[in-house]
Each structure stands twice: as structure tokens, then as C-alpha cells.
């Protein structure tokens, strides 16, 4: 019976710790990135978005030629 009193609190702390460590803050701004094939930025080849709700989507190709649009999350 004594063993149970020791093991149960240890399991409870481990379980609660894993729940709280999984919580992450939402971003403070939304970031949209558009990637282009060359420096003239006339042909879009990819993009990504980090939304205010924490979602992240990426498509196409990433290059060094890019534009970013950043807006605050309300």
C-alpha cells in the first residue's frame, strides 16, 4: 500500500507535465511569404503562410527571391 502512495503522485506529475509542455503560444503576427523564380519577381514558384491561429502551410519551391507580408494578429 505504501508503494501506491509513492507511485501515484509520480505518475500524476508526469502526466500533468506532459499536458502543460504541449501548450504553445499563438503567433503575434501573420506572415505570408511568396517565392519567385528570379530577381525580377514575375513568376511565382511557391509560398507559405503562418496564420494567427498557429497553422502553417507551405507549397511549391522556396528560393532566395521572396516577398513577405506581415500583419498583426488582432
Determine the structural domain holding residue 16 and report its residue range.
2-72
Query: Which sign does the torsion angle of CA 14, 19, 20, 23 carry?
Result: positive
The pLDDT value recorded for residue 15 is 59
Burial of 54 (0-12, 13-18, 19+ CB in 10 A): exposed
> What proportion of the chain, given as a percentage, has pLDDT over 70?
68
The pLDDT value recorded for residue 27 is 79
Which residues, at least 6 apart from 62, have a Cβ–Cβ distance to it below 8 Å?
A: 35, 46, 48
- Categorize the per-residue pLDDT at 26 as very low, low, confident or very high, splitting at 50, 70 and 90: confident
The pLDDT value recorded for residue 2 is 52
- Categorize the per-residue pLDDT at 22 as very low, low, confident or very high, splitting at 50, 70 and 90: low
The pLDDT value recorded for residue 74 is 82
Q: How many domains does the chain have?
A: 1
Amino acid at each position: 500500500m505504501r508503494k501506491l502512495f509513492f507511485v501515484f503522485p509520480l505518475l500524476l506529475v508526469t502526466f500533468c507535465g506532459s499536458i502543460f509542455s504541449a501548450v504553445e503560444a499563438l503567433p503575434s503576427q501573420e506572415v505570408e511569404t511568396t517565392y519567385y523564380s528570379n530577381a525580377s519577381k514575375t513568376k511565382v514558384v511557391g509560398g507559405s503562410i503562418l496564420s494567427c491561429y498557429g497553422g502553417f502551410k507551405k507549397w511549391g519551391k522556396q528560393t532566395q527571391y521572396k516577398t513577405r507580408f506581415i500583419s498583426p494578429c488582432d
